[in-house]
Amino acid sequence: MQKAIVIGSGIGGIACALRLQKKGYAVTVFEANDTLGGKMGSLSKVGFRWDTGPSLFTMPHFVDELFELFSLNPRDYFNYKQKENICTYFWEDGTTFSASANLNKFIQEAAHTFNEPRIQLQKYLTKSKKKYELTAPIFLEQSLHKYATYFSFKTLNALLKSYQLQINQSLNDVNHHCFSDARLVQLFNRYATYNGSSPYQTPGIMSMIPHLEMHYGTYFPEGGMYAIVHSLYHLALKVGVQFKLNEPVIKINHQNKKVSNIQTTKAEYKADIIISNMDIYATYQHLLKDTKQPHRSLQQERSSSALIFYWGINTTFEQLDLHNIFFSDAYQEEFNCIFAQRTLSNDPTVYINISSKDKRDDAPTGCENWFVMINAPGNYGQDWDELKQEAKKNIIHKLNRLLDIDLEKLILTEEILDPVKIEANTSSYRGALYGAASNSKFAAFLRHPNFSSHIKNLYFCGGSVHPGGGIPLCLLSAKIVSNLIQNA
């Protein structure tokens, strides 16, 4: 039986392992840490539990697919429920808006709240859907770096209608042209952060992202976000995938321009196929030092990182939901701070995820577990101790003002995750959450492909390569890799 090795156990790596096991390979996953999941983790402390990484779950059918590959009913192993509201938004002028997952209800309530014509909202979301349908078969579901991708009816159709994609405008320009209310522009601008970019730089094609949330819905997994990793891990064990934790890979070896084996801190392991689920920068810098470096890909601007406070809160808030956004009053300056000045804004947009709203045992009775995140620059050697102290003060001041509370007295316990720790824990260059940023219209084409053009049988998956970061795209990267590899 041919052997396949996957380096890294992020969700893309586990999905890749499952797909190759189904193809007939004997698959082993190597993980440097003592836990699985990459950026998806779980933290428990004094009766509170937090999901430490991604908190938004959409397009759950991509997870279900992995169970269905093995003719298993996903509902016997993994379950989730759809949320009625996508997110609750707060502005400094006192406006609060709960975005309904029901498209017609969203349009009706947004039209009323922001005094925008319903037809304008409908037109925007219809264009969002068309952009997704035009681009998904090319940019998300296939390798951008294979000629065959460009010789199909879907590709030709997309090229003929490329004017509809608005790649020569920024997302902010597109939204500003569509809506007169600055709050609604800001609401749709925030979708740039889904791939760690700035709405003032990322192309207008990114206005397709709202369609993903509103058409496919947002969900909460039973057991929390880490249940996704947990369920896929147990599926992998069930079908024969092997896992080696606490065993960092230190080199990918190759002979005659073809992979031969890997070297770990403990031994060498032969392989016919090798897939790296590590950050692409770390893969080349640490595991492929003797290989020609893809400088254009590696030198791309990195995406934003994050500063996250995990707070145990000694009360509950009826006005808050699973997902909550408290907007900056100086949004463009916030992104200028992140990408140009490489620092934190004094008025950051604050995201609060509260999984105890749906999983009550994530917090003691009468309490809530707050995952409080602001977008941050990557790690460029800043004084993070000072930045964290200042950020905490600004966040608390903002939430006190908008929620009319004294938050500091309610925080029972605290843990902090910053770009330095993200980089150290996950080998993500500069702590970037999504690999390269998408702050140009060429970014998708410069993102590293899912295969090596110099070493045969070497592949790449995960958020730092094509098609990008986030749970759905990481799962799609695994599918693309699987489609590139022949059956054993």
What pLDDT, in 10s, does the model give residues 209-243? Answer: 999 888 899 999 999 999 999 999 999 999 999 99
pLDDT attached to residue 164: 61
Give residues with Cβ within 8 angstroms of 411, minimum separation 6.
Answer: 311, 312, 313, 314
What value does the mean pLDDT take over residues 153-166?
54
* pLDDT, tens digit (0-9, with 9 covering 90-100), for 289-330: 999 899 988 999 999 999 999 999 999 999 999 999 999 999
Which pLDDT score, from 0 to 100, does residue 147 have?
44
Whether residue 137 has pLDDT greater than 70: no
Can you name the residues that pair with 351 across neighbouring β-strands? 325, 373
Q: Give the C-alpha separation, 131 to 147, whole Å.
A: 22
Whether the per-residue pLDDT at 153 is higher than 60: the answer is no
What SS3 class is residue 450? coil
DSSP letter at 1 equals -
The residue with greater pLDDT, 144 or 315, is 315
The pLDDT confidence band at residue 150, using thresholds 50, 70 and 90, is very low
Q: Label residue 323 left, alpha or beta by phi (over 0 means left) and psi (-120 to 50 means alpha).
A: beta
Q: What phi and psi values does residue 303 have, to the nearest 5 degrees? A: -70, 175
pLDDT of 64 strictly over 90: yes
H helix runs in 337-403, sequence order:
384-403
Q: What is the pLDDT of residue 168?
A: 84
CA distance 272 to 259: 7
- What is the percent of the chain where pLDDT is above 90? 86
Q: What is the DSSP secondary structure assignment for residue 208, as one 8-state letter?
A: G
Nearest to 480 by CA among 466, 470, 468, 469: 466
Residue with tokens 């939430």: 399
How far, in Å, CA of 460 to CA of 488, rounded? 18
Average pLDDT score over the chain: 93
3.50.50.60, 3.30.1390.20, 2.40.30.20, 3.40.50.10440: CATH of 3-38+223-298+438-484: 3.50.50.60
pLDDT band at 151 (very low <50, low <70, confident <90, very high): very low
Residue 304 zone, left/alpha/beta (φ > 0; ψ -120 to 50; rest): beta
Identity of the amino acid at 281: Y
C-alpha–C-alpha distance, residues 334 and 347, integer Å: 7
189: Cβ contacts below 8 Å, ≥ 6 apart: 171, 172, 175, 199, 331
Residue 155 in this model has a pLDDT that exceeds 60: no
Alpha carbon distances (Å) from 242 to 32, 71, 263, 475: 14, 20, 17, 19
Tokens of 306: 């994050």
Q: Can you tell me the mean pLDDT for 41-45?
A: 98
**Domain boundary assignment for the chain:** 3-38+223-298+438-484, 105-214
Residue 138 in this model has a pLDDT that exceeds 70: no
Which of 45-54, 161-170, 172-181, 367-376 has the least mean pLDDT?
161-170
Which of 228, 233, 62 shows the shortest CA–CA distance to 140? 62
- Whether residue 159 is predicted with pLDDT greater than 90 in this model: the reply is no
pLDDT at 134: 81
**The pLDDT value given to residue 297:** 86
For range 419-446, the mean pLDDT? 90
The sign of the dihedral angle between the CA atoms of 301, 175, 100, 376 is positive
pLDDT digits (tens, 9 = 90+) for 461-485: 999 999 999 999 999 999 999 999 9
Burial of 208 (0-12, 13-18, 19+ CB in 10 A): buried
The residues, ordered by sequence, that sit 6+ positions from 33 with a Cβ below 8 Å of its Cβ are: 245, 246, 425
Kindly state the percentage of the chain with pLDDT values over 70. Answer: 93
Q: Using CA atoms, how far apart are residues 258 and 255, in angstroms rounded to an integer?
A: 5
pLDDT for the residue numbered 154: 54
Among 108-122, 164-178, 321-335, the minimum mean pLDDT is found in 164-178
CA distance 380 to 128: 35
C-alpha 134/C-alpha 140 separation (Å) is: 11
Query: What three-state secondary structure class fits 469?
Result: coil
- Asked if pLDDT for residue 451 goes beyond 90, the answer is yes
What's the mean pLDDT in 95-100? 97
